[in-house]
Structure 1
Amino acid sequence: MTDKTLVRRTPWPASDSWPVCTPLQPSVVYASESPDALDDMYEGRAEGYAYAREAHPNADVLAAKLDGMEGVQGGIVLGSGMAAVTAALLGVLKAGDHLLGGNQLYGRSLRMMSTELPRMGIATSLADPTDVAAMEAAVRPETRMILIEVVSNPTLRVADLEGIAALCKRRGLVLAVDNTFTTPRAVRPLEHGADIVIHSVTKLLAGHSDATLGYVGARDADLNDAMLGVAQTLGLTASPFDCWLAERGLYSFELRYDRAEENARALADHLHGLPGMTRVIYPGRPDHPDHNRVQGLLGSRTGNMVTFEIEGSRDAANRLVRAARNIAFAPTLGDIGTTLSHPATSSHRGLTPEGRAALGLSEGSFRVSVGVEPADLLCTEFEAAVRAAARD
């Protein structure tokens, strides 16, 4: 006689051992033993899950690890870096408020400020985050928040984090810091006076270009609750599988970061001496425009991002990319392998040539997210590409 069981009622096998790897839990819904038990969970008298849009185990496991890295309690893992930005902004701002942003934010953050927030009645403006006086001059009576990146994309300017934090404290403003480029390996913004820290986990933290996730955490529990409420209502949900992948990536994060940073220093120095190179920007070089601030804020943790500019127009840019055949030309950063991007056709394509020029970007500008390959191979590859670009 065949045993009969109801669908999904087969119990999980008992075991006196446990998995070394974090289990993947893709369930969208969770069953409770009674209405009272569900009430207890929703009202905080018991721990548990009900619906994955609100919370699920893999997101909580990853969030706890990121909390520890940033010195936060109660941070949230979300479906993308922009989901994290959205939760931070809409968790704090309302119609009639003003948001002041750094003038070289990530392109989609700039679009949100220029297009989406004004539709909601939230005013926005930009100022130079390397100049505290300029930021303070841009503060309005209705300003509620300042949003900056520690290191800007792609010009790699370093914000006056501590000066802006002091400004926010004086004026009663919330300071949100996107720490994607630098990561907590280089700086922990909350230790320098920030209120909210944001990450695109997709990038260096996960590190393998196979998981799309974001993270946001605040010092204040009420801010975390407000951001969580926005995330749950808007459905900014993180995929359990992506959380599982990102957690796995974190185990090698420090090894990857340190190797990529070492490579970036070597590549920046090598590029600097090549013919046809008009400038190389790397926070670890003494000719960086914010060198003194780099030393005070980041110390030796100068990251894996290098920006350079070659002579010539789009034709030269095309020749360089085609010659760098072993480097992925892709609008991303933080992969374990080196990637190359062209701001004029990716992150800053929405700007006019004049707008890009105002930021110091031309058709010859490139951003490199340096990976873990042998440094000598990277230098050889880029030298050949730069020389190819210089040929008529």
Structure 2
Amino acid sequence: MTDAPMKPSLQRPIAPRIGASRPVVSPIMPSVVYASETPDTLDDQYEGRTQGYAYAREGHPNADALARRLDAMEGVSGGVVTGSGMAAVAAVLLGLTKAGDHVVGADQLYGRSLRMMKEDLPRLGIETSLADPTDVAAIERALRPETRLVLIEVVSNPTLRIADLDGIAQLCRERGVLLAVDNTFTTPAAIRPVDHGADIVIQSVTKLLAGHSDVTLGWVGAREATLNDAMRVFATTTGMSASPFDCWLAERGLATFELRFARAQDTAARLAAHLAGQAGVKRVLYPTRGDHPDSARAQAVLRGRGCNMVSFEIEGGRAAANAFAAAAEGIAFAPTLGDVGTTLSHPPSSSHRALTPEGRASLGISEGFFRVSVGLEDPEALITTFDAGLAAARAV
């Protein structure tokens, strides 16, 4: 299935005219409350006969401006901006399910998504199962008559496995099950899940979309208006509000998103190729490499787009990992991704620390495993820094 091109990230001023002119940049509107003329006016707003705002927890101009742009990029209408990526995940898992439902999740979801699946949903009477998203038969075996929803990521964290998105979407259609896809790693620059049959798309706007590590936001959008309405009501009721200032910063970040994505992706491919030839590197994971376990699917689903994430494993265990991180000066050792600067993450000590060593080993995560979010540095300078880290690791 072919993705429709991502819509351009055009600025859409939301301010009224000031005399004969209009602001080019969306202004920040931090007001918590909005005044209406009469009770009838307020009724018209709440019942959809006119547009307006009443209380910022229910929505505000900056959130709406950002939502419109994200909607266009992901190919949906009526998406909801939330206070974080996990708030968007919660709006799906808790806003669209009820006690007695069953949810299937990919077995390598983001750590907090896994925690919600394993601990929070069962506590509320919602049963859950985990299955390998690279194997549609495994997802099918996990389905039950009461299954309401399947949640996957296109590319897994941190081993960068590629989900069988088309196969899972077809399965969900046949079974009448909702398919929600977290598109944070890949972004609409690489793939639009709704074009592959997904019902719901999730973004942690905090990451690549905003792109500067100064925003905490999420977004979720669905094909059907009834799903968006249910998630919006849940987000409003539970206070998943987005800050106007963060929405304004994210809208600013979107203006350069496509340029940042392309540059980081090109550098990531170069870094992966370089690391693969270095002594002390046991393996390199990058979706477009021929030695990736899902390389054929990566070509079919991502159409040659490897994105900006690279994972690799070095010899020497934890001691070598410590040496590498300390010697890679200028690379932030931080469990995040999508910044303009490259960041280095060590899953055994961060995102996957709650797993037993055996549990991590089953996923292919050793003490020498690193995940890299490639930024906008000069590629040669970045490679030089990684070489210094590898030299230090080999010395150990």
Q: Same fold (TM over 0.5)?
A: yes
Question: In the alignment, which of 29, 37, 56 is matched to residue 41 of structure 2?
Answer: 37
Counterpart Cα distance in 2 of 1:251 and 1:367: 27
Which has the greater radius of gyration? 1
1:315-372, CA deviations, whole angstroms, 9 ceiling, x for partnerless residues? 1111000001110000100001100000011111111111111110011000000011
Report the CA distance shift for 1:13/1:281 in structure 2 as closer, same or farther (over 3 A). Answer: closer
Give the match for residue 247 of structure 1: 251
Q: Report the 3-state secondary structure (helix = DSSP H, G, I; strand = E; otherwise coil) of the residue aligned with 1:53.
A: helix
Deviations 1:77-128, CA, capped at 9 Å, x for gaps: 1000000000011221100111000000000000001111111100111000
Identity %: 68
| SS in structure 2 at match of 1:306 | strand
- Residue of structure 2 equivalent to 1:134: 138
- 1:14 deviation in Å? 5.0
2:57 match: secondary structure: coil
Specify the code of the residue in structure 1 equivalent to 2:62.
N
Query: Equivalent residue for 1:385?
Result: 389
Tell me the SS of whatever aligns to 1:384: helix
Q: Please name the residue that 1:286 is paired with.
A: 290
Distance in 2 (alpha carbons) for counterparts of 1:344 and 1:157 = 18
Quote the residue 2:272 is aligned against.
268
Aligned to 2:366: 362
CA contact (8 A) 2:17 2:23 kept: no
Q: What pairs with 1:298-317 in structure 2 (closer than 5 Å)? A: 298-317=302-321
Is structure 2 residue 110 aligned with structure 1 residue 143?
Answer: no
2:127 & 2:53 partners in 1: Cα distance? 37
Who is 2:338 aligned against?
Answer: 334
CA RMSD of aligned residues (A): 1.0
Post-superposition offset of 1:146: 0.4
Give yes or no for the alignment of 1:226 onto 2:216.
Answer: no
Q: Distance in 2 between matches of 1:153 and 1:15?
A: 51
| Amino acid paired to 2:258 | E
1-side partners of 2:340 and 2:38: how far apart?
Answer: 47
Paired amino acid for 2:38:
S
- 1:210 counterpart = 2:210: no
The TM-score with structure 2 as length reference comes to: 0.95
Residue 94 of structure 2 aligns to a residue whose secondary structure is helix
2:22 equivalent to 1:18 = yes
Alignment match of 1:94 (pick from 77, 93, 98): 98
3-state SS of paired residue (1:347): coil
CA deviation after TM superposition for structure 1 residue 16, in Å: 2.3
1:273-304 deviation digits (Å, cap 9, x = unpaired) = 11110000000111111011011111121100
> Counterparts of 1:176 and 1:149 in 2: how far apart (Å)?
9
Counterpart CA distance in 1 for 2:243 and 2:316 is: 43
Alignment partner of 2:67 out of 58, 63, 71: 63
Match of 1:84 in 2: 88
Q: Which residue of 1 aligns with 2:13?
A: none
- The separation in 1 between residues aligned to 2:317 and 2:298, in whole angstroms, is 31
Confirm whether residue 74 of structure 1 aligns to residue 78 of structure 2: yes
TM-score (norm: length of structure 1): 0.96
Aligned to 2:116: 112
What letter is aligned with 1:60?
Answer: D
Distance between the aligned counterparts of 1:32 and 1:336, measured in 2? 42
Aligned to 1:347: 351
Q: 1:170 aligns with which of 171, 174, 180?
A: 174
* Greater Cα offset, 308-317 or 332-341: 308-317
Letter in 2 for 1:375: P
How far apart in 1 are the matches of 2:17 and 2:176?
55
Correspondence for 1:374 = 378
Matched length: 381
1:158 maps to 2:197: no
1:226 alignment partner AA: A
| Aligned counterpart, 1:318 | 322
Deviations 1:30-55 (A, max 9, x none): 00011111111011111000000000
**Alignment partners' CA distance in 1, 2:17 and 2:255:** 28
2:85 is the alignment partner of 1:103? no
Residue 300 of structure 2, aligned match among 284, 296, 299 = 296
**Distance in 1, Cα, partners of 2:18 & 2:268:** 49
Distance in 1, Cα, partners of 2:40 & 2:97: 35
- Amino acid corresponding to residue 187 of structure 1 in structure 2: I
For residue 125 of structure 1, what is the aligned residue in structure 2?
129
Deviation sequence 1:188-232 (CA, Å, 0-9, x none): 000000000000000000000000000000000100001001000
